[in-house]
Each structure stands twice: as structure tokens, then as C-alpha cells.
Amino acid sequence: MASSVLRVPPGLRRHSVSVRQLHGPSSSPASEHYKVLVVGGGSGGITMSARMKRKVGAQNVAVIEPSENHYYQPLWTLAGAGAKSIGSSRRSTASVVPSGVKWIKSRVQEFSPDQNRIRTDDGKEISYQYMIVALGLQLHYEKIKGLPEGFEHSRIGSNYSVDKVEKTWRALQDFREGNAIFTFPNSPVKCAGAPQKIMYLSDAYFRKTGKRPKANIIYNTSLPVLFGVKKYADALWDIVKTRDLNVNLRHNLIEVRADKKEAVFEKLDNPGETVVLEYEMLHVTPPMGPPEVLKGSPLADEGGWLDVDKDMLQHKKYPNVFGIGDCTNLPTSKTAAAVAAQSAVLDRTISKVMKNEKPNKRYDGYTSCPLVTSYNTVILAEFDYNGQPLETFPIDQSKERRTMYYMKADVMPHLYWHGLLKGLWGGPGPYRKIMHLGLK
């Protein structure tokens, strides 16, 4: 453990941060102090813990994470369609926290950035010199009337929760005939392609099992577009038409009547108007939002998200606080691929701040969404803040390809566990690593 003496980081003096602002009045000293405190043990938190260990030494880094297990969530889409097991996405948190880094198995209860400290749910106060917030986001099934209790019934699942993914697979297997409905909520989401990936996989499963003639597949999305980047949206519309899939834009799920197998949608362009659809299978993508502990804290913007500079990933008010991943207000899609790109920028930003230098590496908003369109094809969407394609490979990535499915299903999980989480790679995009390996 590092010394409990809290000093003003040299890199903060240029921001005119006073000693009083850094220390502030406190009724009692913090029980622990770390040079770098990482809040959250998901993709961004573990990745940055590994990078910070190399930068300042393991004994000077701690990560706060209450969960016993760490998941590679991109596999859940495939698990919901029976292509992967949910177990293959899981590792113990103890096994992914970098050796020597302190794992604090608690939950943050309160942020006090003016005093450079946090308080955990067990009452412990921990101070820091630098803090990286990587809390992810929060699922809100309860904002849909009839949920989450509706999951007790069959025929309904969600690939967004580890305890509901296998319900998706069961609903898919039990399907006989009728409507198979897939939803996209009226909120920010992580992995914005996932709500329709399971639709394409379900279509493929129904065709493989001979059920497709009796299935009416419906995708109801709150968005005004099928996908946010036109190049890939055009390709997806072609698939929708070819496979006879029904897409309803600006339809938002507001209620599930699980006992009647009915889903109620509001028409966002016609306030007050709703439509009720019966379902034989329902896949729910829940509304999502920032973690409760961030909402109303000094670190949050008006929407409750961590308020960081979109280029440097440094907090706009507290220069010794940084953010990565889903909890931030970065105007890009929330994906593991985005975390990979952000990690390299954030590493450089923190290095510069620690040296009292101006950060100079900028994050361009790179994110990636491998759009699974069947059990052996993927459209690899890669793009920046402006929604412009930012592709890795010298091919048209808007076309369905078997090689991209192989990368999504088999190569990327390996690189995640043995590369990204160990802080060994990042940058313009995770697929650069594959290019370096010669898998073109």
C-alpha cells in the first residue's frame, strides 16, 4: 500500500488546482491511499489497472469492484442463440485483476473529488492522487411495466443480463409459430447492434430448424434509423428485405404483459398512441443509464454520465480524474472495441499529466460493432465520432463475411483475455492486432 500522505500531483499545478481543493476539510483521514485508484473492474477498469501497474507499480494501484466474476459480454449475443456457452464468457475477478494490484471488493457509495477520496458501501474512505472511473452503465428493466417480474414466464429473454441470456436460448428453442419480437429502447445502450444481432441469428435458427415459414419476425426500435452509420445501414436494410424481416422505426417498448404474451409499444412520433402485439418469443433490450452513484455527483454531467473531454478522456472539472468506457458521456457507441481504443489514449493522457505536460494524443471516437447476421457471417462496422467508417481491412466491410464471424466468435475473445485485459494492446482498433498477426 502506498503512503497515506497526499501530495499535489505536479501535473495538476498547471490547471491552477489549489492545495485546499485537493485536500479539502475532512472529519477523518482516509484509511487507505493509492497513487491510482480505478473504480470498476469491467473491461475498461481491468485494462487500465494493468497499464497503471506498469506505469507506477502494482503496490500503488487499486481497483474497486464488488463482483466475483468478470464477463466478456460480447459473447452473450452468441450464447443467446446457442452458438456459445455462457460459461465461456466468464472468468473470476481474482484471475483478471493484475497481480500485485489491490482488489477492493466493495462498491463505491460516494465520490468526493474535492477531497480526492471516495467512500465505499462498507464505510471505508480511500484517497487517491489520480482516479480512473470505469463503472459501466446500469440496466433498467424496471422502467418497462411488467418487468423484471415478467421474466418468470417463458418465451421472454434478454442477452443483456447474464441470468437472462439462457432464457433467450430457451425461448428460441421452444418457439413454434407466431411473432418473434426484438426491441431497442429509447435510451443510450451498450453495443447498439446487439438488439438486432439476435434477430438475424433467430431468423437463421428458424430456417435451420424448419420453423421459419411459421415465424413472423419483428424488430421494433425507438431509433429513426436501422443503424447509425449509413454505409452499414444500407447493407442491413438489404438483409432485412431479403430475409423478410419486419422493421418498425420509432416504436418503444413500454409494457410487457407476460401472462398474456403481449408487448405494448408507444409510437414516438405520435405521442399517446400505442400498439399491442402478441408474441411467441420476445427479446428485450432494457433502457439503460448511468450508474446511480454517478448521478448528482460532482463528476456527472446533467444526464448523470461522467463528464470528460471527448478528445483526452480527462474530467472537465477535476484534472486528476479520468474516465473510460460506458459510464462516460463520450459521443460514440459504447462497446468493448471503443474501450480498447480509449485505453491507449487514456494511457498517454495520464502519462502526460503525471509529467506536468499537456496531453497530445486524441481519441477520434473509434468504435466497432461486429454485426452478426447469421451463424457464420458478420458485417464488421468500424466508425468514428462523426459516424464515418474507420475500417481496418482493405476490403468492403459492409459485406457479410465468414472470416469476420471467425474473428468475432473465436479470435477476439482470446485477444480480450490475453491482450486487452493485460494492457498489452489498444489503439485505432482491436482489429489492428489481427492485422499484425497476418489474419487478413
For the annotated catalytic residues, the residue numbers are 191, 369
Q: How far apart are CA 425 and CA 342, in angstroms?
A: 11
Q: How far apart are CA 260 and CA 63, in angstroms?
A: 45
Taking the CA atoms of the chain, what radius of gyration do you get in angstroms? 22
62: left (phi over 0), alpha (psi -120 to 50) or beta: beta
- For 107, 157, 320, 375, the CA distances from 306, given in Å and listed in that order, are 17, 30, 14, 37
350: left (phi over 0), alpha (psi -120 to 50) or beta: alpha
Location of C-alpha cell 459504447? 334
Location of C-alpha cell 443509464? 289
Please choose, from the candidates 106, 102, 185, the residue with its C-alpha nearest in 3D space to the C-alpha of residue 143.
Answer: 185
**Burial track 305-343 (b if 16+ CB lie within 10 A, e otherwise):** bbbbbbbbbbbeebbbbbbbbbbbbbebbbbbbbbbbbb
Q: How far apart are CA 247 and CA 245, in angstroms?
A: 6
The strand pair at 251-257 and 125-133 is best described as unpaired
The strand pair at 90-92 and 69-71 is best described as antiparallel
CA 47 to chain centre: 14
